[in-house]
Structures are given as structure tokens and as C-alpha cells.
């Protein structure tokens, strides 16, 4: 394990302080730059038009969570004086100032893209979002009736006076502040009112075909309420009406040490999450300064927290427009591939008994994982099923098969992580269904989230017990498996199955840490084993042996891992890090990280795979993992890291998840030593190449590849 001081290339070289703040990038700023790379996809005309719109909406959703969790956490640290700077040395107050400056610029750019590029392009395709001044006479009449029938009955306007204080507004809800003229029925003249828009109301409304212009015509709910705001206050006139949205702290903090009922506590926490402390105020750009000041004062926010937007305050609700039937404006649909061995054989146990099966999602189907559970649920020879569940739908096939297995008398044990952020309610429902079916439920370990992805099936064969496992890098969520890149390994390897069995024993029972034969697991062995193998590559380089490291993960923030990589780089190890989101490691620093390259791939599918490759003196080792290179993964979660023992599968992962991603010059962003990312450019002597496009063409059935002309088969 590296120390604070480490040698450069030889023992006689001067030592470097690897705690130097200049070697690191702030975690929150790095995450924000990832969100900005997502926003850039809305400008990329090689994406289909509706998918460009979708990238814009994903950016909006990402930014919401960024404020709800990351910014709110920084605000609490700054207020409480809990200044624990990360490796970069920035204090929370300093980071908040940087975030405010960057986010204001990004939000301005977001609305410029929407108004100046996407909406005009959509209008050319006869997809129109009509402003009030664009409504025809027939449309106005229909909208007025729609307001009376569908909107007005569920609105509750609230006049502001001493008897009607400012209402407690739900996190991220659409609201309107209205300036009124006149007196109400009781002679009151407060001048201001608030109109909350219930979440049951759709934020965009598609007009009927018989009153539409050609194509798909939509109106915003905000425009409808604005138009008829005066009718909500009889005898008074709405002088102005301006939409706004408040973002609140949505992080759940529960003291598990003093809990007897975790599900019950979480249910209460989910209610309080809707009314956490205010962290951001979005107001339509036309709102007068005095009303903005009034709202800021009401929510105890500052000018730094105010975002004036040129359009709807909640762009994520535009996602309804993506669902219209315009296939030409979306990515070409594809059918995920299926391994030949599984196509020919209905008995999955027989296939897995003979050979490990690797699935590369979403290019290959997630269905075999679900089908394996379905077969196990019905198979009279299957005695027990154990599974971890982090994110999964309450009515997913995976849960249905576990319910069926329990009802069929199998010993079903589910380790459910109730605290998976923003999936808590779904997971509580999953737990309820499984408990009612007779499954044994475990909620993980107090103080540690269970993030590992494991299934263990115990089957009686020829009078003996045989184990089968599924290990994955992603969640047991069929929807995510169509959108995220991940690996699944199906195996009956004796040592691997024994390791999984021991980890389940740790999760469900009590006792000392068990020694595993092949796997590493956090919070016990994973970090130290990764550091040990990084150090071995360093020693190989110093001895003149082949040395190479390639990591693919979502984030790298853990200080000791970064320092180990710096040390290896100083020794001459060539290191490539394919990091989708956060990289606190600053590459390209002479004498420190000049042999480290960091790239981020942002494309159609969310990169989610975790793969760790070591050259190991021409005897390469490849690991897949549920864990990112973050402190929370390595120290505060239960994670797994498993070797790919089959040489052919290891070579396949090296090619599909590492080599071709390093070739990508279409969707690859290269991290510079100043902390900025630059989109990779095509050199004159090279062909244009996209990693995800390559995998789509190589592993799936796709009608045509017109959106992927740069991909060679």
C-alpha cells in the first residue's frame, strides 16, 4: 500500500508528496462536467432528433439530482462548519461558488439549445409546442374547455395574507406566483397568490388532431394556467402570472443504530424528503425582480441560488413528447443478441454446467438471467435461491420468479437494499411481496449498503448438491439492462460458487470475515487487492517487464487507489482509465501522471460496466465488479469483484469493453491536465469509430445502421 511519500522512478529519485492538491480534481466539479457532456449530446446532429431532445431532458434530470443530493450536502457542510476538503483541498463554500457559476452558464446554454435549435428542428418535423399567441380560435376554445373540465377542478389557489401563510411547496413541483388587482369576496387585497399545480396534471397536453395544424401539436400546462389565472380569482384580475419551481434537499439520513423498523423509518423519510431544505429556485425569466426577491426571502435563499430560465421550469416533463410515434426521429430499434449455447438448449443448468456464459448488456439479452430464475422456480431439483436486490421494479419478472419459487416451496432468501436512492419506495414494495410469498428477507448490514449483484441457486444433481451463480456489474432491472452497458456472468465454477455462498453467509448471518478463493469483496479485501495488483504492475515496469493497467468504471475518487496509480505511472506503467463520470485523478502531470490517460464515453447507452485489467507480465488478469473506484464503494458498501477465468471470455471482455473503447473517436471525451474535457478528434490516417456502434452491429440484430455509418463490422 502506498504511503504519503513515494519514489519517482528509482529509489534514489526525489520523493513526491502524493497529497498535493494540484494532482486532484474536485469531485462535484468533475460530476458537473459529466452532466455537461450529456448536454453536449443535444447539439450532436448525428443523434436522431428526438434523442437529442432526450439528452437535454436527461441533463435536466441529472442536474435536479445534483442539487438535491450533492449541492444540498455541500450547503449543510458550509452551514455547520464541517469543512472536510477532499484531495483537491477545496472548502465547501469554495465549491458552491464554482458550482453556481458553472451551473448558471450550463442552464443558460440548455435553454438556448432548446429554443434556438431543438424546437425549430422539431417544428420542421411538424412537432409543435404552441405558445399562447399561436393558438387558433378553435384551439383556444378547446383549451378553455379543457381548463374548465380537467384543470380548474383540481387547482387550489392560495391568497397570501396573515391567515393564509406561504404554503409548504413540494420538492420540484410546478407553481405560479400571481400578482392580483382588486378585492376578494371578503374585502381582502393582499396582492399576491400562489397556484400549486398538482402532479396529477400532465405538463404538456397534446391537442386533438381535428384542431391541430399538421402533425403533433402540444401546449404547456403552464401556458394554460397562465391564460386563465384570472378565472381562479373571481372579481379580481391577475396582473401577472409567473411559473417557478423549488428544489429541496432530498437526501435521506436515517440513524440505523437506533432503528427497530427500517422499512417504517424509510416510509417516513420518503414523506419528509418532499419538504427538505430549499437549495435552488428556478423562475421564468419574465418574472419581475421584486417577485424573485420575495421568493428568495421566503425560501431563505440567495441570488446564487436563483436560476432565471427562458422556458418551462421543469424540462424533464417534456419527456412525454418523446413517446410520440415518430420512429424516423429516434434510434433504430434492435433485438439484443443471444449466445449460441443458450439458443440451442432449453436447460440452462446443463449449459452452465459445461461452460461459463458471458452476456454483454444491452447488446446481448438480459432474458437469460430472468429465464434462469424462472427455470429454477419450477425445477423440483432446485432447493434454494439466494439473491441480492438493489434496484428492481416491484412487478419485474425477476421478483415474480422469486415469488413463484417461494410459493413452490424453495428456500428463497432475498437481501434487499431498501436504501437504494430514489428506489426506496419500490424496494419496500418488493420486500412486502416477497415476505407475503414466504421468502426470507434480509435488509443488508447496518452502516453498509449492499450493492453486490449476486444470485446463488442450489440444485440436487445425482444425489449431490450443485451450485450455480449469476454475478453482474449492473442491477436486476430489465429496463436498465436495455439502457445501461453491463456484464453478466453465469457460472457453476466450484470456487466461485463457494465464494458467493460465503458472502451470503456474511450478509445473512454473523461472524468473522470469510476467506474467499477467487473473489474480492468490499469493504474487506477489494481495495487492498486492487492496490496490490497496481503495485505489482509498478514492480514489473521497474524490472523491465510488460506492465499495463486498463480500468473501466463510472468514477474514480478513492485517494489511495489514485495514489497507487500515480506511483505506477511514475514507474513507467501505461495506464488507461475509461471513466464515464467523476475522475478526481488529474492526468498528464509530468513526473506524476504523464503515463495516465482518462477518457469518458457518452453515447446512446449509459456506460455502467466496471472492468479491471492488469497485464501481469504477459499473463493478463481480468476482473468484473459491482464496485466503482470510490470511497463509498470500497469502504461503505458490500461489493463484489470476480475474475473472468475462461481465457476466451477474458479476451472477449478485453476487446469489447477496453480495446474498442480506447479506439472510439466519435463519442470519447479526453480529460486534460487542467481538468477540462475535449471531444476526441479523428486523425487523418484513422477511420471514424464508435465503440457502442461497433457492439450494436457485432452483437445485436439491427435493421440497419444508418445512424452508425462510422462503424465497421
Q: Taking a C-beta distance cutoff of 8 angstroms, is the pair 357, 496 a contact?
A: no
Residues with Cβ within 8 Å of residue 232, at least 6 apart in sequence? 152, 155, 157, 195, 238
Cell match 487542467: residue? Answer: 674
Q: Which whole number is the average pLDDT over 629-651? A: 96
* CATH number of this structure's domain 334-517, picked from the four choices 2.40.10.10, 3.30.870.10, 3.30.300.30, 2.60.40.420: 3.30.870.10
> How far apart, in whole angstroms, are the C-alpha atoms of residue 307 and residue 246?
10
Q: Which of 83-87, 162-166, 400-404 has the lowest mean pLDDT?
A: 162-166
Q: How confident is the model at residue 420 (pLDDT cuts 50, 70, 90)?
A: low
Q: Can you read off the three cell numbers belonging to residue 186?
A: 371578503
Phi, psi for 670 (deg, rounded to 5): -100, 125
* pLDDT score at 198: 92
Q: Is the pLDDT of residue 289 over 50?
A: yes
| Per-residue pLDDT, 423 | 60
pLDDT for 150 beyond 90? yes
Q: Taking residues 336-341, report their average pLDDT.
A: 90
Instruction: For residues 316 and 314, give the distance between their C-alpha atoms in angstroms, rounded to a whole number.
Output: 6
The string of pLDDT tens digits covering residues 433-465 is 888 999 998 887 878 889 999 999 999 999 999
Which CA distances in Å does 157 have to 195, 226, 238, 480, 541? 5, 13, 12, 39, 71
Q: Which parts of 577-663 fold into alpha helices (H)? A: 631-635, 647-653, 660-663
Higher pLDDT, 2 or 372: 372
The pLDDT value given to residue 317: 86
Q: Please name the residue that has the C-alpha cell 391537442.
A: 207
Q: In this predicted model, which residue has the larger pLDDT, 684 or 550? A: 550
Of the pLDDT bands very low, low, confident and very high (cuts 50, 70, 90), residue 188 is low
Q: What pLDDT, on the 0 to 100 scale, is given for residue 190?
A: 64
Section 383-387 average pLDDT? 97
- pLDDT at position 586 is 97
pLDDT exceeding 70 applies to what percent of the chain?
90
2 pLDDT band (50/70/90 cuts)? very low
Q: Does domain 5-23+521-702 have CATH number 3.30.870.10?
A: yes
pTM of the entire predicted model: 0.91
Q: Determine which one of 226, 361, 401, 451 is catalytic.
A: 451
Cis peptide before 313 (omega within 30 of 0): no
Taken in order 556, 557, 560, 563, is the CA torsion positive or negative?
Answer: positive
What angle in degrees, to the nearest 10, is found between the helix axes of 92-113 and 27-40?
0
| Whole-angstrom distance, CA of residue 572 vs CA of residue 415 | 43
Predicted confidence (pLDDT) at residue 254 exceeds the cutoff of 60:
no
Under the banding of pLDDT at 50, 70 and 90, the label for residue 162 is low
Q: Where are the alpha helices (DSSP H) in 256-415?
A: 262-273, 289-298, 340-344, 348-354, 367-378, 397-407
- Residue 416 binned pLDDT confidence (cut-offs 50, 70, 90): confident
**Residue 184: partners with Cβ closer than 8 Å, 6 or more residues away:** 159, 233, 235, 236
User: pLDDT for 43-76, tens place per residue?
Assistant: 999 999 999 999 999 999 999 999 998 999 899 8
| Domain locations in the chain as residue ranges | 5-23+521-702, 129-324, 334-517
Calculate the CA dihedral of residues 95, 101, 106, 112 and round it to 10 degrees: 170
Q: Is 451 a catalytic residue?
A: yes
The band of 263, judged by pLDDT with boundaries at 50, 70 and 90, is: low
Q: C-alpha 79: how far from its chain's center?
A: 28
3-state SS class at 459: strand
Q: Using the structure block, give the residue that is written with the C-alpha cell 472492468.
A: 611
The grid cell for 140 is 383556444
Q: What is the pLDDT of residue 395?
A: 77
Of 683 and 273, the one with more pLDDT: 683
- Each residue of 674-703: pLDDT tens digit? 999 999 988 777 788 999 999 999 999 765
- Rounded-to-integer distance, Cα 554 and Cα 584, Å: 12
Ranking 496-500, 557-561, 673-677, 699-703 by mean pLDDT, the lowest is 699-703
Residue with cell 474535457: 677
What cell was used for 527?
A: 481495495
What's the confidence (pLDDT) of residue 454?
A: 97
Q: Please give the mean pLDDT across all residues of the chain.
A: 89
How far is residue 66's CA from residue 33's CA, in Å, rounded to a whole number?
A: 12
Superfamily of domain 129-324 in CATH is: Polyphosphate kinase middle domain (3.30.1840.10)
- Confidence grade of residue 269 (pLDDT, cut at 50, 70, 90): very low
* pLDDT the model gives residue 208: 95
State the pLDDT at residue 163.
59
DSSP state of 589: -
Q: What is the pLDDT of residue 257?
A: 47
pLDDT of 712 > 90? The answer is: no
Question: Mean pLDDT throughout 550-577?
Answer: 97
pLDDT tens digits for range 3-52: 344 334 444 344 788 999 999 999 999 999 999 999 999 999 999 999 99
Average pLDDT over residues 474-488: 93
Compute the average pLDDT of residues 535-541: 97
Give the separation between CA 308 and CA 323, rounded to whole angstroms. Answer: 28
The predicted structure's pLDDT at residue 86 = 83
pLDDT classification of 372: cutoffs 50, 70, 90: very high
The tens digit of pLDDT for each residue in 100-148 reads 999 999 999 999 999 999 999 999 999 999 999 999 999 999 999 999 9
Amino acid at each position: 500500500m502506498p504511503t504519503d511519500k513515494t519514489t519517482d522512478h528509482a529509489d534514489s529519485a526525489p520523493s513526491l508528496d502524493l497529497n498535493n492538491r494540484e494532482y486532484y480534481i474536485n469531485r462535484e466539479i468533475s460530476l458537473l462536467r459529466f452532466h455537461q457532456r450529456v448536454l453536449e449530446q443535444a447539439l450532436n446532429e448525428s443523434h436522431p432528433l428526438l434523442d437529442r431532445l432526450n439528452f437535454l431532458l436527461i441533463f435536466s434530470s441529472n442536474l435536479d439530482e445534483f442539487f438535491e443530493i450533492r449541492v444540498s450536502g455541500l450547503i449543510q457542510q458550509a452551514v455547520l462548519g464541517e469543512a472536510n476538503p477532499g484531495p483537491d483541498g477545496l472548502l465547501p463554500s469554495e465549491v458552491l461558488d464554482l458550482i453556481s457559476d458553472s451551473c448558471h452558464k450550463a442552464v443558460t446554454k440548455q435553454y438556448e439549445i432548446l429554443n434556438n435549435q431543438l424546437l425549430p428542428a422539431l417544428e420542421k418535423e411538424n412537432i409543435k409546442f404552441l405558445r399562447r399567441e399561436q393558438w387558433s380560435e378553435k384551439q383556444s376554445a378547446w383549451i378553455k374547455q379543457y381548463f374548465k373540465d380537467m384543470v380548474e377542478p383540481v387547482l387550489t389557489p392560495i391568497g397570501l395574507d396573515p391567515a393564509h401563510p406561504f404554503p409548504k411547496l413540494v420538492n420540484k413541483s410546478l407553481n405560479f406566483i400571481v400578482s392580483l388587482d382588486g378585492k376578494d369576496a371578503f374585502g381582502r387585497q393582499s396582492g399576491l397568490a400562489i397556484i400549486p399545480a398538482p402532479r396529477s396534471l400532465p405538463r404538456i397536453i397534446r391537442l386533438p388532431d381535428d384542431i391541430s395544424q399538421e402533425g403533433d401539436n402540444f401546449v404547456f400546462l403552464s401556458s394554460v394556467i397562465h391564460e386563465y389565472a384570472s378565472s381562479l380569482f373571481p372579481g379580481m384580475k391577475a396582473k401577472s402570472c409567473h411559473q417557478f419551481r423549488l428544489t429541496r434537499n432530498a437526501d435521506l439520513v436515517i440513524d440505523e443504530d437506533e432503528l427497530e423498523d427500517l422499512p417504517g423509518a424509510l416510509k417516513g423519510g420518503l414523506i419528509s424528503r418532499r419538504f427538505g431544505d430549499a437549495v435552488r429556485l428556478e423562475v421564468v425569466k419574465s418574472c419581475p425582480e421584486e417577485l424573485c426577491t420575495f421568493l428568495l426571502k421566503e425560501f431563505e435563499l440567495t441570488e446564487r441560488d436563483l436560476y432565471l430560465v427562458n422556458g418551462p421550469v421543469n424540462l424533464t416533463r417534456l419527456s412525454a413528447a418523446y413517446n410520440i410515434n415518430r420512429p424516423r426521429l429516434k434510434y433504430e430499434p434492435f433485438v439484443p443478441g443471444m449466445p449460441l449455447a443458450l439458443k440451442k438448449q432449453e436447460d440452462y443448468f446443463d449449459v452452465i454446467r459445461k461452460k461459463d456464459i458471458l452476456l454483454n448488456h444491452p447488446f446481448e439479452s438480459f432474458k437469460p438471467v430472468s429465464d434462469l430464475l424462472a427455470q429454477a422456480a419450477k425445477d423440483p431439483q432446485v432447493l434454494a435461491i439466494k439473491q441480492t436486490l438493489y434496484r428492481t421494479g416491484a412487478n419485474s419478472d425477476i421478483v415474480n420468479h422469486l415469488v413463484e419459487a417461494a410459493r413452490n416451496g424453495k428456500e428463497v432468501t432475498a437481501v434487499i437494499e431498501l436504501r437504494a436512492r430514489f428506489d426506496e419506495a419500490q424496494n419496500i414494495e418488493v420486500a412486502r411481496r416477497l415476505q407475503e410469498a414466504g421468502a426470507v428477507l434480509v435488509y443488508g448490514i447496518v452502516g453498509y449498503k449492499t450493492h453486490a449483484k449476486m444470485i446463488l441457486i442450489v440444485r440436487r444433481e445425482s444425489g449431490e448438491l450443485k451450485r450455480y451463480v449469476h454475478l453482474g456489474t449492473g442491477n436486476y432491472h430489465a429496463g436498465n439492462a436495455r439502457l445501461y452497458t453491463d456484464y453478466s456472468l453465469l457460472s457453476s465454477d466450484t470456487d466461485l460458487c463457494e465464494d458467493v455462498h460465503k458472502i451470503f453467509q456474511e450478509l445473512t448471518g454473523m461472524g468473522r470475515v470469510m476467506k474467499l478463493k477467487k473473489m474480492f469483496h468490499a469493504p474487506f479485501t477489494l481495495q487492498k487487492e486492487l492496490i496490490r495488483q497496481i503495485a505489482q504492475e509498478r514492480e514489473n515496469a521497474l524490472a523491465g517487464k510488460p506492465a499495463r493497467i486498463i480500468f473501466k468504471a463510472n468514477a474514480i475518487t478513492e485517494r489511495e487507489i489514485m495514489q497507487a496509480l500515480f506511483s505506477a505511472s511514475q514507474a513507467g506503467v501505461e495506464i488507461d482509465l475509461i471513466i464515464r463520470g467523476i475522475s478526481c485523478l488529474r492526468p498528464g502531470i509530468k513526473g506524476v501522471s504523464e503515463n495516465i490517460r482518462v477518457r469518458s464515453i457518452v453515447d446512446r447507452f449509459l456506460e455502467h460496466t466496471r472492468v479491471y485489467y492488469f497485464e501481469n507480465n504477459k499473463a493478463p488478469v481480468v476482473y468484473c465488479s459491482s464496485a466503482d473506484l470510490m470511497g463509498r464503494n470500497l469502504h461503505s458498501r458490500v461489493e463484489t469483484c470476480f475474475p473472468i477465468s475462461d481465457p476466451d471470455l477474458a479476451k472477449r471482455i478485453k476487446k469489447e469493453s477496453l480495446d474498442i473503447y480506447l479506439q472510439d473517436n466519435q463519442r470519447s471525451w479526453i480529460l486534460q491536465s487542467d481538468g477540462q474535457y475535449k471531444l476526441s478528434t479523428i486523425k487523418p490516417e484513422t477511420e471514424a469509430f464508435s465503440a457502442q456502434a461497433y457492439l450494436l452491429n457485432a452483437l445485436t440484430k439491427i435493421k440497419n445502421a444508418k445512424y452508425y455509418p462510422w462503424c465497421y463490422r
